[in-house]
Amino acid sequence: MLGTASDMGKPYRPKDHYFQKAKQEGLRARSAFKVDEILKRFPGSVKKGAAVLDLGAAPGGFLQILADAVGMHGRVIGVDISAIRPFSQKWVTTAVLDVLADDFDAKLAALYDGPYDAVISDMAPKTSGIKGTDEARSLRLAGKALEVAATRGRPGGTFVAKVFMGGDFEAFRDEVRQHFEEVKIVRPEATRGASMEVYVVGLRRRAPAPAAS
């Protein structure tokens, strides 16, 4: 994992401290620092040998951190509507997939059928500039990530999803609580100053209730 960064570039500056730092460290995106911070805050949330799904993974900053976190005996599956430059690590698989497409679940199962120890989403919609619309689109993506975690996540596993604050955010957090024993809201240091984004972290996925007979 990466060294701790305490000097933050909070106001929006496209080539800010984290941008420069990512470049120096050979990272594909400054967002790598966000997942790095989340993994450090919750030790054991992604362990060596784990199977991790990264939704909205392009260009691959999160994937670089996750690949190191799980190591060669783990699996990392990264999907995005944009293509992701391939990884040299054999345990990292990437694919172009739209999580909102009707055939997403089947295509994901064909890539790796799970179960996943962690489902992580950094998905963000194309922003319209209309606050309510962007919040609703963000929640739709996060809601899909939660659905995947609830169906393909291993009991005891981890969930992380980026969400724009506002709108039905609280209802979403409550929904995450139904599936995970502990829920935390994290705003990593590398988050840009004006951004409304936070990460909802679900720890220790509850075992699904047995089907009624």
Ligand X SMILES: C[S@@+](CC[C@H](N)C(=O)[O-])C[C@H]1O[C@@H](n2cnc3c(N)ncnc32)[C@H](O)[C@@H]1O
Minimal distance, residue 204 CB to ligand X, in Å: 23
Residues 6+ apart with CB under 8 A from 95: 77, 78, 79, 107, 111
- Count, residues near ligand X per rule CB under 6 A: 22
Q: Let me know the angle formed at the C-alpha of 44 by 42 and 45, rounded to the nearest 5 degrees.
A: 60
Residue placing its CB nearer to ligand X in the complex, 10 or 177:
10
Minimal distance, residue 35 CB to ligand X, in Å: 7
Q: Residues 98 to 157: which contact ligand X by CB under 6 A?
A: 98-100, 122-125, 141
The single-letter DSSP state of residue 54 is E
Minimal distance, residue 160 CB to ligand X, in Å: 11
Selected from 62, 164, 172, 199, the binder of ligand X by CB under 6 A is 62
Question: Using the rule CB under 6 A, is 59 a contact of ligand X?
Answer: yes
Helix (H) or strand (E) holding 80: strand 75-80
Answer yes or no: 48 catalytic.
no
Question: Using the rule CB under 6 A, is 96 a contact of ligand X?
Answer: no
**Token output for 21:** 């730092």
Alpha carbon 122 to chain centroid distance?
Answer: 4
Distance (Å) of CA 150 to CA 73, 122, 156: 24, 17, 11
Residue placing its CB nearer to ligand X in the complex, 51 or 160:
160
Q: Minimal CA–CA distance to 125: which of 108, 143, 138?
A: 138
Question: Using the rule CB under 6 A, is 161 a contact of ligand X?
Answer: no
Residue in 10, 15, 162, 184 annotated catalytic: 162
Where on the chain is the footprint of ligand X (CB under 6 A)?
Answer: 28-29, 31-32, 56-62, 80-82, 98-100, 122-125, 141
Active site residues: 162
